Amino acid sequence: MNAERLRELSEFLERENTRLEIQRRLEALRNALQQLGSSPGDSDSQNAVVQSRNQFEDSIVNFVVSLTPALRASIGEIKGTPYFTEALASNVREAIDSNAMTPAVAHQRVGAIFDGRREYLDNLERANASLAALGIRTPETYDGEAEVGFLLPRGLFDNQLDNFSKELSQIDRIARTYSELVTGSVTPPTLRQISSTDPLIFVGVQIGVVIAIARSITWMLETWKKALEIKSLYGDAKALNLPEQLLKGFEDSIKKHVDESIEHHTNQLMAQYTVAEDRQNEMRTALRFGMRYLIERIERGMQVEVRYLRDGKQEGAKDGPPGGPTEEQLVQLREIAKDLSFPAVTGEPLLKLAATIADEAENNEVRPEEPIRPGDDAGPDKPQPS
């Protein structure tokens, strides 16, 4: 995680803590338990505990309901899970329920949770202030803006700059392909941010393009979930030293399932969007290759994240361009983002890692046509730049 992303995350957590009054409500619950410990039989004190507990748990529910898997992982990376997620509500609940007959003890335990969380918030605030003092700023954002991020495990490019550049070129090509598919023209993606030990590349594209990419990713995850069931049987069979012919049957089943799914999803996309007649073959080829690229890398640990500004105008956000995202699009993206939960990498990869576009072009194997960039005068018969 780089400094910009750390500041962005710390600002988000501070803002949500204030907006949802998480710490204030935890303090109110602690105080209500203290009062109940002084007068255990008092019905007003008992009701105050119940009311404070419900309000506190509502705050946690409202915080976690829209968390994406990627955002959860980032919060865990800075050790914020015990202070912001269901884990916090669970710890408080256990402290109260296990000491129902001794409210003074419950008060002490909830007080310890409150103090620990306050120390974490203080550290978060100091870190944010220090980053600001050092000139670390969060990326410029616009109201309602969306981004798509690709996390690339280093094993994909073996720490080789040349291989890394090829992965970036393919991400660029996928973004351009979906841009042409959705809008009818190519809007080149813009690089927004690079962070993490395993590079996490955020690019900015139109929200409709982000939605289309994200929907394809959710389809890939569902496809790969079914493939993992076959892969699990393959692992069991291999552990039993079953014949190679039988093992190959498992491998062929996975590849067939993936190939058929890619073809089916390609047909769905081509039916959903209007593609110029003279671009249909090229678009089909580019979509197939892009989906195979992604699903092969998902097996090896690639993850995809989509981001958006949550609640309309936020501090630091600028007015977006006219004709920007609709509320319906933002709702769609929020719902899709919740489903982007990636499986853990298990066993040896069974899908062959396809060469990048550059490699395939060099080998004269597959040459998906480069989508025409705005301003290009190339026609269907004119070779496109590689």
79-98 pLDDT tens trace: 999 999 999 999 999 999 99
Are 197 and 262 within one domain? yes
Are 161 and 287 within one domain? yes
Please compute the mean of the pLDDT values over residues 64-79 and round it to a whole number.
84
Q: Does residue 379 lie in a domain region?
A: no
Are 155 and 129 within one domain? no
**Boundary of a domain, candidates 80, 110, 133:** 133
Beta-bridge partners for 55 = none
Closest CA to 360 of 302, 297, 292: 292
Burial per residue of 22-49, b for 16 or more beta-carbon CB atoms within 10 angstroms, e otherwise: bbebbbbbbbbbbbbbeeeeeeebbebb
Q: Does residue 125 lie in a domain region?
A: yes
Q: What percent of the chain has pLDDT over 70?
A: 84
Least confident among 14-23, 25-34, 110-119, 360-369: 360-369
Q: What percent of the chain has pLDDT over 90?
A: 31
Are 341 and 291 within one domain? yes
Work out the pLDDT band at 28, boundaries 50, 70, 90: very high
Are 117 and 177 within one domain? no
Do residues 28 and 58 make contact, with C-beta atoms less than 8 angstroms apart? no
What type of residue sits at position 150?
A: F
Are 118 and 175 within one domain? no
Are 186 and 72 within one domain? no
Summarize pLDDT for 332-350 with one digit per residue, the tens. 888 888 778 888 887 777 7
Q: Does residue 259 lie in a domain region?
A: yes
Enclosing domain of residue 127: 3-133
Are 204 and 278 within one domain? yes
Six-digit token pair at 356? Answer: 């990048």
Are 121 and 190 within one domain? no
Q: Does residue 141 lie in a domain region?
A: no
Q: Does residue 95 lie in a domain region?
A: yes
Do residues 303 and 151 make contact, with C-beta atoms less than 8 angstroms apart? yes
Q: Does residue 272 lie in a domain region?
A: yes
Are 249 and 289 within one domain? yes
Q: Does residue 370 lie in a domain region?
A: no
Are 116 and 193 within one domain? no
Q: Does residue 138 lie in a domain region?
A: no
Say how many domains are in the chain. 2
Residues 36, 41, 42, 48, Cα dihedral to 10°? 40
Which pLDDT score, from 0 to 100, does residue 232 have?
79
Are 126 and 168 within one domain? no
